[in-house]
Amino acid sequence: VYGDPEIHPQTEDYWGNVNPLGPRACYDEGKRCAETLFFDYHRQHGVKIKIARIFNTYGPRMHPNDGRVVSNFIVQALRGEDITLYGDGEQTRSFCFVSDLVDGLIGLMNTEDDVTGPINLGNPGEFTIRQLAEQIIEQTNSTSKLVHRPLPQDDPRQRQPDITRAKTTLGWEPTIALAEGLRPTIEYFRNEIREMI
Ligand code: UDP
């Protein structure tokens, strides 16, 4: 919902910076429209709602071909293929391990009815995409090389959640650092790739 943010890190009261017409628009605006409808139903009909704003999440059971960065890089590294950095690789993301995210979601669902959110859920540890690639090469002992590919249109430059609200409202914060969460994720893809051969 924050698009290519001008506020860093992103707090829940930031309205975002979204191109409504670009190739990411149906994804970004779809989420924004869902939040709008949730609040309208809440106001008009008293429907109980909870809105989580989920930042980049990764872990075992991601689809090897869904095109997201963690799965792409791990699969490329394990196969010894080139690692495709889009743009200069200096754009940032903050990656949350899936079990942390699920704990946050369960915590939010267990709050009192007056807690509607939105609440950011994500790991504030921020990395450039190049750092992610280097970390994955190191942890897989890969011989893969970094190559550059065109940056997709409207690719957000930086993204990091401010999770103050989640900490105070849910008593939640992530516990698994990127290097730690990559280990089981890499193992998962190792097995997946073996089965694909
Ligand atoms: N990315 C990349 N190489 C890839 C896939 C993604 O450099 O093979 C970059 C992409 O341009 C973006 C970041 O990694 O800057 C995260 O992309 P992803 O699609 O995983 O998530 P999102 O852009 O929705 O945060």
Number of domains composing the chain: 1
Residue 197 has pLDDT above 80, yes or no: no
Tell me which residue has its CA closest to atom 18 in ligand 1: 68
* CB of residue 81 inside a 6 A radius of ligand 1: no
Tell me which residue has its CA closest to atom 19 in ligand 1: 68
Question: Is 40 inside any structural domain?
Answer: no
Domain encompassing residue 174:
50-196
Tell me which residue has its CA closest to atom 23 in ligand 1: 155
| CATH code for position 127 | 3.40.50.720
Residue 157's pLDDT band (boundaries 50, 70, 90)? very high
- HEC string of the chain equals CCECCCCCCECCCCCCECCCCCCCHHHHHHHHHHHHHHHHHHHHHCCCCCCEEECCEECCCCCCCCCCHHHHHHHHHHHCCCEEEECCCCCEEECEEHHHHHHHHHHHHCCCCCCCCCEEECCCCEEEHHHHHHHHHHHHCCCCCEEEECCCCCCCCCCCECCHHHHHHHCCCCCCCHHHHHHHHHHHHHHHHHHHC
* CB of residue 85 inside a 6 A radius of ligand 1: yes
Candidate from 10, 86, 137 with most ligand 1 atoms within 8 A of CB, to mutate: 86
Residue-wise pLDDT for 10-50, tens only, equals 999 999 999 999 999 999 999 999 999 999 999 999 999 99
Residue-wise pLDDT for 88-108, tens only, equals 999 999 999 999 999 999 999
